[in-house]
Structures are given as structure tokens and as C-alpha cells.
Copies of this chain bind each other. A is one copy, B any other.
């Protein structure tokens, strides 16, 4: 059994309006940083045990699809790191 640190990056679908991102972008402008395309999503980290990286990824991917992200409004990506 190996242990993996998994980072799940969830972001609002590009075609969807992201009011929070817009608000942040406005605030950044006031702080003097002109940024474009600012989006605010979720950053979920967790540790799982599995026999292989593939297995770990597969299992997290399943819950990410079902639960951690809502496909109607969000998309996600996974990053794995063996501990």
C-alpha cells in the first residue's frame, strides 16, 4: 500500500458567469493589479492509500465526478503526488 496526496482543482465552467471571480478582479484592479479572466474555484486536498498511482487516481476521479464537482456548473482536474 502506498499513500498519495491528491489535489482536486475545481473551477466554474468557462461558459458560466463567475460573479465571485468578477468581484475579485475588480478588487484586484483597485489594488493596482490589472488581471483578466479571474475565476474562483475550490482547492481540495486529501490523502488516500492505494496500490498504485493509477488506482489512487481512478478512485478519487470517481468521487470527484460524482461529488466533489457538479458537472452542470464545474469542471475539475486531479494532481497526484506519492508520499
User: Is A63 on the interface with B (CB-CB < 8 A)?
Assistant: yes
Q: How large is the interface on A (under 10, 10 to 19, 20 to 34, 35 or more residues)?
A: 35 or more
Number of copies: 2
| Chain A interface residues (CB < 8 Å from chain B) | 6-7, 9-11, 21, 24-25, 27-28, 31, 33-49, 59-60, 62-63, 66-68
Q: Which residues of B contact A24 (CB under 8 A)?
A: 44, 46, 68
Contact of A43 among B33, B40, B66 (CB under 8 A): B40
Contact of A28 among B33, B39, B45, B67 (CB under 8 A): B67
Q: Are A41 and B42 in contact (CB under 8 A)?
A: yes
Q: Which residues of B contact A21 (CB under 8 A)?
A: 44
